[in-house]
Structure 1
Amino acid sequence: MAIWKPDLSSRVGPKYLQIVEAMAEDIATGRLPQGARLPPHRELAYQLDVSPNTTSRAYAEAVKRALLKGEVGRGTFVRLSKSDPAQAEPESLKRAASGPIDLSRNLPMPGFSERHIRRVMAEIANDAGLRSLLDYQTDTDLPHHRVAGQTWLDNCGLASGLDCIVPVVGGQHGILCVLMALLQSGDLLLAEALTYTPVLAMAARLNLQTGAVAMDGDGVMPEAFEAWCRDAKPKAFYLTPTLQAPTTVTLSEARRTRIAEIAAQYGVLLIEDDVFGPLKSDNPVPLVQIAPETTIYVTSLSKAVAPGLRVGFLKAPAKLAAALHQSVNLSVWMTPPLTLEVASRLIEDGTAAELASQQQRVARHRQRLVQDILGMAAIPSPSDGFHVWLPLPQGWRADVFSSECARLSVRVSEARSFAMNASDAPEAIRLCVSHEANEERVQRGLEIVAGVLRQKPSGSSMVI
């Protein structure tokens, strides 16, 4: 690309901050793409007719805001956005007992399931049926796995015929199977403006177009969805109606009903991600119950039982079940029978439901901890789940706030990480309180966040 030269003609304030603000806007709009190399600060100073000290200070501030990354011997580059899982560098998911406190991972509490899984694995090892679990299977070869799926769906608040249940390798795999089976290259996939961003990476790999459906304080807006349907003919709409990530909002039954009506009117497939549903004690009626012929329901055991099992289930209209089975076969041939057997036994003997209840109790306890430390006024939507949405006080930028927390050894996620359009991201962060097993670390991390909230943003943090 040509040398980057920001337009400062309409900006006010210190020159170095004008450069940083222009840089942030150009990154958000794609004019300055991820991974792009910035000109040396002396060269940029010459182009802008400012002192090298000004551009050097601007670059330092941009690094602080996590816009840029310097590489010794190579130069300064636009940092890869965490909102693009296809490009972001992989990071470990291990739960460290020391070091930075991680409030950025939305994982369930560890440890509850271990003794139960040990028991079930011992039972399977001594069972005469083990041999069949180690061979190739189809869904119809082991029908009791689909019966267990039916029981889990019952636990999630909905009933389904067995011919509509498709076992998958966790919720993310289930979503991918839906997109592979039912959308074609060039189709338009809608999602909430703040969303589970791996879906966007899937869409990119499948050459799907994507569109952001606007949200307000009560979640995704039916009128915004209808506008897309009227003007652009989308094929599907992916959404998380319960404990939405990252905002924690649970969509009202009235909005669910209206979205179902719009989808039926325009022939749009709804993909309902309900992986957080088992954590909510008073969940409204699932979309799939309101619109069973236009909704595919995705659930898994990852958030409520054990992420490492990688077991989930799709509930689909009967007319779509065959295509989804074929998509599973294409991607992994078969959902692993051995892990399905472990999950099925935990479901059928009631252990899975009890583990979900344990996760619920811990979630409620830690949510109270958040409210005690941060204050109810800071939390617009108290949640039953493991994550918290924290709009920032006037003057704070989310990237600067996140960097300040990181400087104090606390990791958080800024709203931009979840935004379909980075320029539309609000100044907010998401906190997760379950990845850290040690409650003292969670408490210490929240106290540090509370301390940053009490700070008055410096001049370099103010929105200009």
Structure 2
Amino acid sequence: MAIWLPDLSNRNGPKYLQIVEALAHDIATGRLPAGTRLPPHRELAYHLGLSPNTTSRAYAEAVKRALLKGEVGRGTFVRAASADPARAEPQTLCRTDSGPIDLSRNLPLPGLAEPHIRRVMSEIAREEGLRSLLDEQTDADLVRHREAGRMWLETCGVKADLDEVIPVIGGQHGILCILMALLQPGDLLLVEALTYTPVLAMAARLNIRTAAVAMDGEGVVPESFETWCRGANPKAFYLTPTLQAPTTITLSEARRSRIAHIADRYGVLLIEDDVFGPLKHDKPAPLARRTPETTLYVTSLSKTVAPGLRVGFLKTPRTFAPALHQSVNLSTWMTPPMTLEVAYRLIKEGTATTLTNDQRRAASRRQQLVGRVLGHDGIVASEGFHVWIPLPEGWRADAFCAECARLGVLVSEGRRFAMHGGDAPEAIRLCISHEPDEARLERGLTLLSGVLRQKPGGTPLMI
């Protein structure tokens, strides 16, 4: 039959749940008989114009609801209806009032900042200046907020003058503003072979071409970067040198120097995403310190202080500042003054740094928990909040993730981060931060450990 495409018209709610509801409808009406093979989630995402993460989450939810089953090495199929309603949902599902154990979202612990943000917001509410924060702001009005950005950049190891600091609504918005301001349709943007995939979606929307720079066990391969520079005339290279997602790799001083030298030699802009940088002890100097005139540096409080505090800062070479200001104005008119004010006060009084240190200690404690439960064989862990796990031979990442979802644990397959899905390793990324209850985290790791010990073989694993 032709590829199954769900009808999402007249459906509300999150897209992944709309897909699940359409799937349930098509199964109930007979459009999808038992045993029908569904398209790979990345293919479905392409046809629907959605992110692979959305369709992967939909398939995981459908497995949990016993609508689908996965078979290692074969794919995902419609499950036969059960005659016994009590058996309609797998009995091994981790049942909790708060749903599946979510190890798929790479966000800091959300609760640490709550009392501090509540206090700061109460202070703002009691002061005379609240009215001005509710009014339209110009760049001139945001001087103290840019000063907060300058202070935060300094804690990240980057020095900047005030006119080189651009406040944005988190790191993702900052990257979008850079692409809008400095690249033209048809320009070539290089990315790491495993990368932050929203950048690919942004580039596609802006008609910017993309290509992948090879990686090895130490991160970006400088020789691959130079090959692209010699033969393809790229405009920019987007990379995450510290605690790279998903691999956790931090580039060495030697590779950073080599990449900076190549970029300078060929006139390639570097877009340095350092949102995880503050979580690492003794990190190497940022690329922005090595090539300050050609590096756009991106940082954010959303990955180190609180996920919902959508405040980030760009450090830009002065020559690009006017274009970036225009890009911010075009995309959002102004970075919201209220959230900037909260960030300003947290940074100025030192609370943002304290909270980052608290997050770093929490990450260390949870990484130790990963080591105790999963061991270290083949697992690539670091100081941040995510872990990279190459899968045992015989496992396909999508089948592994579906089996984990059946047990009530959500993880991300490595293919989700690859520019070319066929080149992706059979690996998973798990995130250990956003589940606030460490007992739930430990249970999720224990369930995942059991799946890792399974040996896929001749008989397909039914999930």
Structure-1-length-normalised TM-score: 0.82
Query: Following superposition of structure 1 onto structure 2, how do residues 47-446 of structure 1 map, counting pairs within 5 Å?
Result: 71-72=26-27, 73-75=30-32, 77-81=38-42, 86-88=49-51, 89=54, 98-379=98-379, 381-446=380-445
> Which 10-residue stretch deviates more, 183-192 or 82-91?
82-91
5+ residue gaps, structure 2, are 8-22, 59-95
What is the match of residue 448 of structure 1?
Answer: 447
> Distance between the aligned counterparts of 2:410 and 2:368, measured in 1?
20
- Displacement of 1:263 after TM fit? 0.7
- Displacement of 1:98 after TM fit? 2.8
> Distance between the aligned counterparts of 2:394 and 2:360, measured in 1?
35
CA contact (8 A) 2:200 2:210 kept: yes
> Distance between the aligned counterparts of 1:458 and 1:410, measured in 2?
23
Q: Cα 1:79–1:125, aligned 2, differ >3 Å: closer, same or farther? A: same
> Distance between the aligned counterparts of 1:209 and 1:249, measured in 2?
26
What amino acid is the match of 2:269? L
What amino acid is the match of 2:50? Q
Give SS of 1:196's match. Answer: coil
Residues 193-238 of structure 1, C-alpha deviations (whole Å, 9 max, x = no match): 1111111110111111110111000001111111111111111111
> Which 10-residue stretch deviates more, 200-209 or 79-88?
79-88
CA contact (8 A) 1:396 1:461 kept: no
> Distance between the aligned counterparts of 1:203 and 1:314, measured in 2?
19
Q: Cα 1:175–1:83, aligned 2, differ >3 Å: closer, same or farther? A: farther
- Displacement of 1:396 after TM fit? 1.6
> Distance between the aligned counterparts of 2:375 and 2:315, measured in 1?
39
> Distance between the aligned counterparts of 1:97 and 1:160, measured in 2?
47
CA contact (8 A) 1:83 1:197 kept: no
What is the match of residue 16 of structure 1?
Answer: none
- The percent identity for this pair of structures is 66
Q: Provide the alpha-carbon RMSD of the alignment.
A: 2.3
> Distance between the aligned counterparts of 2:357 and 2:6, measured in 1?
47
> How many residues are treated as equivalent by the alignment?
398
- Displacement of 1:424 after TM fit? 0.3
CA contact (8 A) 1:35 1:79 kept: no
- Displacement of 1:265 after TM fit? 1.1
CA contact (8 A) 1:117 1:342 kept: yes
- Displacement of 1:99 after TM fit? 2.5
- Displacement of 1:460 after TM fit? 5.8
5+ residue gaps, structure 1, are 5-31, 38-68
What amino acid is the match of 2:399? V
What amino acid is the match of 1:451? G
> Which 10-residue stretch deviates more, 399-408 or 332-341?
399-408
> Distance between the aligned counterparts of 1:217 and 1:350, measured in 2?
36
> Distance between the aligned counterparts of 1:286 and 1:97, measured in 2?
43
CA contact (8 A) 2:279 2:383 kept: yes
Q: Cα 1:83–1:102, aligned 2, differ >3 Å: closer, same or farther? A: farther
Q: Cα 1:134–1:214, aligned 2, differ >3 Å: closer, same or farther? A: same
> Distance between the aligned counterparts of 2:186 and 2:459, measured in 1?
42
Structure-2-length-normalised TM-score: 0.82
What amino acid is the match of 2:180? M
Residues 252-308 of structure 1, C-alpha deviations (whole Å, 9 max, x = no match): 111111111111111111100000011111111001001111100000000111121
What amino acid is the match of 1:180? M
Give SS of 2:271's match. Answer: strand
- Displacement of 1:111 after TM fit? 0.8
Give SS of 1:111's match. Answer: coil
Q: Cα 1:418–1:83, aligned 2, differ >3 Å: closer, same or farther? A: farther
CA contact (8 A) 1:181 1:327 kept: yes
CA contact (8 A) 2:110 2:307 kept: no
- Displacement of 1:459 after TM fit? 2.4
